[in-house]
Amino acid sequence: MMLAGLLIYVGSQQARSISARLWAAGLLLNGLGLFLFVVVAPASWQSGLTVANHVALALGNACLLLGFWRFNDQKPQKWVLAIVFVLLMITLTAWEFVWPNARLRVLGSAAGHTLYLFALQQALRVPPRQEVQHIYLRLRLVVIVYLLIFVWSYASIADVLPVSARIDKAYHRSFFSVASLLFMLALSVSCLALKFAVLAARNSDLAMVDWLTGLLNRRGFFLAVERARDQHTEVKRQVSIVAIDIDHFKRINDEHGHAAGDHVLKALANVLRHSVDVKNHIARTGGEEFCILLTETDLDAARQLAESIRSQCEQTQVATDGPATITFTVSAGVSEVEPAETINQAINRADDALYVAKREGRNRVVESAFDLMPST
């Protein structure tokens, strides 16, 4: 329960805060359920404590599952929760009030808890980010171990195990209580670790993003280039580069002010975002310089894209802080990574083509031809 409070404090104001609140609620409810499990009360209170214990654990499990679904950006499996709660209501009604039978009541609630553990294991199959993959793997192992202990414990109650595999009820109660407590502690620590890992990953992302445009910065772009280089080497995928520069950007700043220049940069970033597929990478690599890394794209397709971007920019009206609007144009250089060169060499060729476009009058797209160096 203390770890749940810490989870709220650490994670509620950060990314995926709803998942943190759901996890915290799940841990608090499970803590309450485990506490009620060992409370010694008068006989007249026993039914109420039993119902409270089962309901608290079921609600806690539901919150934990919803938290992981939210954390993974997965669609909640409402049918799982429906089965768990319907089974719980039937179990409590039948075996606690209508035909009191503690053994059948315990086994009925255990069936719902087993379904929850299977659903939790399924939710942990695909982590939302690579940075948390190792936590997910360890947590899946914890769930599997606890699931085996859980099934073994309740199979003993159901008398489906050989006599030699059964244990005294007092030992069973103690063993299962300790195992459940350790499982919940491991789960709560894992939730905290996930929040810290996502926070660290988010800070790393921010270090690779340009603060003004929201695109990749130079560092983030060249990290993407490294990944694309490895993929290009392994499977020989087509990769093309588009280098873009805003024409007469200094004049825009001098005549309209730096705030207007920022508006132009944002306008170009919006054009790029709406023109380029999300599988590709866009970066602001300098003051008014941008670069696009296009995977599975040949030279002709890259040139067509660059021409479309140039045309859209030419027609874009940029609002400024004053009453006037301004227009701008861009120049672009295009290259395709050839088998005999690296991606960095193709980027240099795209830059060279961009400079040619500027020398030839700006507001145009120039392709870079690949010339093999003579062997020596």
Question: What is the predicted pLDDT for the residue at 166?
Answer: 46
Question: What is the predicted pLDDT for the residue at 153?
Answer: 79
* Residues 322-347, mean pLDDT to the nearest whole number: 91
Give the pLDDT band of residue 165 (cuts 50, 70, 90): very low
Distance CA(255)–CA(64), nearest Å, equals 57
Give the pLDDT band of residue 233 (cuts 50, 70, 90): low
Question: What is the predicted pLDDT for the residue at 160?
Answer: 59
Judge whether residue 139 has pLDDT over 70: yes
* Residues 305-332, mean pLDDT to the nearest whole number: 92
Distance CA(304)–CA(316), nearest Å, equals 18
Question: What is the predicted pLDDT for the residue at 327?
Answer: 94
Question: What is the predicted pLDDT for the residue at 288?
Answer: 95
Is the pTM above the cut of 0.85? Answer: no
Judge whether residue 119 has pLDDT over 90: yes
* Residues 55-77, mean pLDDT to the nearest whole number: 92
Give the pLDDT band of residue 236 (cuts 50, 70, 90): low
* Residues 195-219, mean pLDDT to the nearest whole number: 87
Q: Is the dihedral of CA 194, 199, 203, 208 positive or negative?
A: positive
Distance CA(64)–CA(307), nearest Å, equals 50
Distance CA(357)–CA(345), nearest Å, equals 19
Question: What is the predicted pLDDT for the residue at 136?
Answer: 94
Distance CA(199)–CA(13), nearest Å, equals 11
